[in-house]
Amino acid sequence: MAKLVFLDTETTGLDPNRHEIIEIATIVWDGVNHRCWQRLIYPTHIGTADPIALKINKYNPDKWANAPEFGEIANDLAQQLNGAIVVGHNVAFDMAFINKHFKRCNIDVPRVRCVDTITLVYEHLRPIGCTGLSMDSVRKYLGWTEQNTHTAMVDTMDCFRLYKLLCRASVWRRFTIWCGYIWRKCKTRLQ
Protein backbone atom coordinates (compact mmCIF):
# COMPACT_ATOMS: atom_id res chain seq x y z
CA MET A 1 0.00 0.00 0.00
CA ALA A 2 1.22 3.50 -0.80
CA LYS A 3 2.03 5.80 2.07
CA LEU A 4 -0.95 8.01 2.90
CA VAL A 5 -0.36 11.33 4.62
CA PHE A 6 -3.43 12.97 6.12
CA LEU A 7 -2.93 16.66 6.76
CA ASP A 8 -4.50 19.91 7.75
CA THR A 9 -3.20 23.45 8.04
CA GLU A 10 -4.46 26.42 9.95
CA THR A 11 -3.68 29.73 8.28
CA THR A 12 -3.85 33.48 8.87
CA GLY A 13 -6.29 33.85 5.98
CA LEU A 14 -7.47 32.35 2.70
CA ASP A 15 -4.87 33.71 0.26
CA PRO A 16 -1.62 31.69 0.03
CA ASN A 17 0.12 34.67 -1.62
CA ARG A 18 -0.64 36.93 1.35
CA HIS A 19 -1.31 34.73 4.36
CA GLU A 20 0.71 32.13 6.27
CA ILE A 21 0.44 28.70 7.81
CA ILE A 22 0.37 28.97 11.60
CA GLU A 23 -0.27 25.32 12.41
CA ILE A 24 0.14 22.05 10.57
CA ALA A 25 -0.54 18.43 11.46
CA THR A 26 -0.01 15.17 9.63
CA ILE A 27 -0.85 11.54 10.17
CA VAL A 28 1.35 9.18 8.17
CA TRP A 29 -0.43 5.84 7.68
CA ASP A 30 0.90 2.70 6.04
CA GLY A 31 -2.42 0.85 6.20
CA VAL A 32 -1.71 -0.63 9.62
CA ASN A 33 0.26 1.82 11.75
CA HIS A 34 0.03 5.57 11.91
CA ARG A 35 2.32 8.30 13.21
CA CYS A 36 1.09 11.75 14.24
CA TRP A 37 3.07 14.98 13.82
CA GLN A 38 1.94 18.49 14.71
CA ARG A 39 3.69 21.87 14.77
CA LEU A 40 2.72 25.43 15.54
CA ILE A 41 4.37 27.75 13.01
CA TYR A 42 5.49 31.23 13.98
CA PRO A 43 3.83 33.81 11.70
CA THR A 44 6.44 36.20 10.29
CA HIS A 45 3.86 38.57 8.76
CA ILE A 46 1.08 38.64 11.35
CA GLY A 47 0.15 42.15 10.20
CA THR A 48 -1.38 40.72 7.00
CA ALA A 49 -3.55 38.24 8.93
CA ASP A 50 -7.31 38.21 8.67
CA PRO A 51 -8.67 38.77 12.22
CA ILE A 52 -11.54 36.35 11.55
CA ALA A 53 -9.09 33.59 10.58
CA LEU A 54 -7.05 34.21 13.75
CA LYS A 55 -10.20 33.92 15.85
CA ILE A 56 -11.31 30.70 14.15
CA ASN A 57 -7.82 29.21 14.56
CA LYS A 58 -7.59 30.30 18.19
CA TYR A 59 -4.36 32.24 17.55
CA ASN A 60 -2.71 33.52 20.73
CA PRO A 61 0.65 35.35 20.42
CA ASP A 62 1.86 33.91 23.73
CA LYS A 63 1.16 30.32 22.64
CA TRP A 64 3.02 30.88 19.35
CA ALA A 65 5.94 32.88 20.86
CA ASN A 66 8.43 29.98 20.81
CA ALA A 67 7.11 28.22 17.71
CA PRO A 68 9.55 27.57 14.85
CA GLU A 69 9.24 29.41 11.56
CA PHE A 70 8.15 27.34 8.57
CA GLY A 71 11.70 27.03 7.25
CA GLU A 72 12.72 25.18 10.41
CA ILE A 73 10.19 22.39 9.87
CA ALA A 74 10.08 22.42 6.06
CA ASN A 75 12.57 19.59 5.45
CA ASP A 76 10.78 17.29 7.90
CA LEU A 77 7.44 18.02 6.23
CA ALA A 78 8.90 17.57 2.74
CA GLN A 79 10.30 14.18 3.75
CA GLN A 80 6.87 13.08 5.02
CA LEU A 81 5.13 14.21 1.83
CA ASN A 82 7.64 12.94 -0.72
CA GLY A 83 6.04 10.20 -2.82
CA ALA A 84 2.93 10.12 -0.65
CA ILE A 85 -0.74 10.25 -1.41
CA VAL A 86 -1.91 13.28 0.54
CA VAL A 87 -5.42 13.12 1.96
CA GLY A 88 -7.24 16.17 3.28
CA HIS A 89 -10.58 17.89 3.49
CA ASN A 90 -10.31 20.55 0.76
CA VAL A 91 -6.72 19.39 0.31
CA ALA A 92 -6.06 21.80 -2.60
CA PHE A 93 -6.29 24.69 -0.11
CA ASP A 94 -3.71 23.13 2.21
CA MET A 95 -1.36 22.13 -0.60
CA ALA A 96 -1.48 25.64 -2.13
CA PHE A 97 -0.20 27.06 1.16
CA ILE A 98 2.37 24.30 1.68
CA ASN A 99 3.73 24.62 -1.86
CA LYS A 100 3.95 28.41 -1.56
CA HIS A 101 5.85 28.07 1.72
CA PHE A 102 8.21 25.46 0.24
CA LYS A 103 8.98 27.81 -2.66
CA ARG A 104 9.66 30.71 -0.26
CA CYS A 105 12.17 28.46 1.55
CA ASN A 106 13.77 27.32 -1.74
CA ILE A 107 12.78 23.72 -1.05
CA ASP A 108 11.74 21.45 -3.89
CA VAL A 109 8.01 20.84 -3.81
CA PRO A 110 7.54 17.10 -3.19
CA ARG A 111 5.69 15.08 -5.81
CA VAL A 112 2.38 14.02 -4.33
CA ARG A 113 -1.00 12.82 -5.44
CA CYS A 114 -4.03 14.06 -3.54
CA VAL A 115 -7.33 12.62 -2.37
CA ASP A 116 -9.98 15.08 -1.20
CA THR A 117 -12.40 13.74 1.40
CA ILE A 118 -14.98 16.27 0.21
CA THR A 119 -15.47 13.93 -2.74
CA LEU A 120 -16.16 11.04 -0.35
CA VAL A 121 -18.71 13.18 1.52
CA TYR A 122 -20.39 14.14 -1.75
CA GLU A 123 -20.50 10.52 -2.91
CA HIS A 124 -21.52 8.80 0.32
CA LEU A 125 -23.08 11.25 2.80
CA ARG A 126 -24.95 13.82 0.68
CA PRO A 127 -27.30 11.20 -0.79
CA ILE A 128 -28.27 10.07 2.72
CA GLY A 129 -29.00 13.48 4.22
CA CYS A 130 -25.77 15.34 5.01
CA THR A 131 -26.63 18.92 4.09
CA GLY A 132 -23.13 20.31 3.54
CA LEU A 133 -19.65 19.35 2.45
CA SER A 134 -17.68 21.11 5.20
CA MET A 135 -16.05 19.14 7.98
CA ASP A 136 -18.34 20.96 10.44
CA SER A 137 -21.38 19.65 8.50
CA VAL A 138 -19.88 16.15 8.49
CA ARG A 139 -19.23 16.25 12.26
CA LYS A 140 -22.79 17.34 12.91
CA TYR A 141 -24.23 14.68 10.60
CA LEU A 142 -22.12 11.86 12.08
CA GLY A 143 -22.60 13.00 15.68
CA TRP A 144 -18.88 13.65 16.19
CA THR A 145 -17.70 16.11 18.81
CA GLU A 146 -17.07 19.68 17.72
CA GLN A 147 -14.74 20.34 20.64
CA ASN A 148 -11.30 21.77 19.71
CA THR A 149 -12.12 21.84 16.00
CA HIS A 150 -10.19 24.16 13.72
CA THR A 151 -6.95 23.01 15.26
CA ALA A 152 -4.71 21.18 12.84
CA MET A 153 -4.45 17.90 14.76
CA VAL A 154 -8.16 17.55 15.54
CA ASP A 155 -9.08 18.34 11.94
CA THR A 156 -6.45 15.90 10.64
CA MET A 157 -7.67 13.14 12.97
CA ASP A 158 -11.26 13.72 11.86
CA CYS A 159 -10.15 13.57 8.22
CA PHE A 160 -8.39 10.26 8.98
CA ARG A 161 -11.57 8.89 10.64
CA LEU A 162 -13.71 10.11 7.75
CA TYR A 163 -11.46 8.49 5.15
CA LYS A 164 -11.46 5.17 6.97
CA LEU A 165 -15.25 5.35 7.35
CA LEU A 166 -16.07 6.24 3.75
CA CYS A 167 -13.30 4.83 1.55
CA ARG A 168 -14.89 2.04 -0.49
CA ALA A 169 -18.08 2.37 1.58
CA SER A 170 -20.68 -0.21 0.62
CA VAL A 171 -24.42 0.34 0.44
CA TRP A 172 -24.66 -1.47 3.78
CA ARG A 173 -22.12 0.91 5.37
CA ARG A 174 -24.06 3.93 4.11
CA PHE A 175 -27.28 2.43 5.42
CA THR A 176 -25.82 1.98 8.92
CA ILE A 177 -24.46 5.56 8.86
CA TRP A 178 -27.89 6.84 7.86
CA CYS A 179 -29.55 4.77 10.64
CA GLY A 180 -27.18 6.34 13.16
CA TYR A 181 -28.10 9.80 11.90
CA ILE A 182 -31.84 9.07 12.14
CA TRP A 183 -31.38 7.58 15.63
CA ARG A 184 -29.57 10.72 16.87
CA LYS A 185 -32.29 12.95 15.36
CA CYS A 186 -35.08 10.95 17.04
CA LYS A 187 -33.24 10.88 20.36
CA THR A 188 -32.80 14.67 20.24
CA ARG A 189 -36.50 15.20 19.52
CA LEU A 190 -37.52 12.95 22.41
CA GLN A 191 -35.43 14.87 24.94
Residue 1 pLDDT > 70: no
The pair phi, psi for residue 62, each rounded to 5°, is -65, -40
Question: Looking at residue 109, what is its pLDDT?
Answer: 86
The share of the chain scoring above pLDDT 90, in percent, equals 87
Distance of CA 20 to the CA centre of its chain: 16
User: What band does 168 get if pLDDT is binned at 50, 70 and 90?
Assistant: confident
Write the single-letter amino acid at 132. G
- The residue range of the domain holding 77 is 4-190
Query: How many CB atoms neighbour CB 119 within 10 A?
Result: 12
d(CA 146, CA 144): 6
Q: Over the stretch 31-43, which tens digit does the pLDDT of each residue have?
A: 899 999 999 999 9
Instruction: Between 1 and 8, name the one with better pLDDT.
Output: 8
Pair 8, 39: CB distance under 8 Å? no
Q: Residue 27 pairs with which residues in a beta bridge?
A: 6, 36
Question: Looking at residue 169, what is its pLDDT?
Answer: 86
CATH of the domain at 118: 3.30.420.10
First and final CA of the chain: distance in angstroms?
46
Q: Where are the alpha helices (DSSP H) in 32-134?
A: 51-56, 61-64, 70-81, 91-104, 117-120
Give the total number of structural domains in the chain: 1
> What is the pLDDT averaged over residues 9-19?
97
Instruction: Between 141 and 171, name the one with better pLDDT.
Output: 141
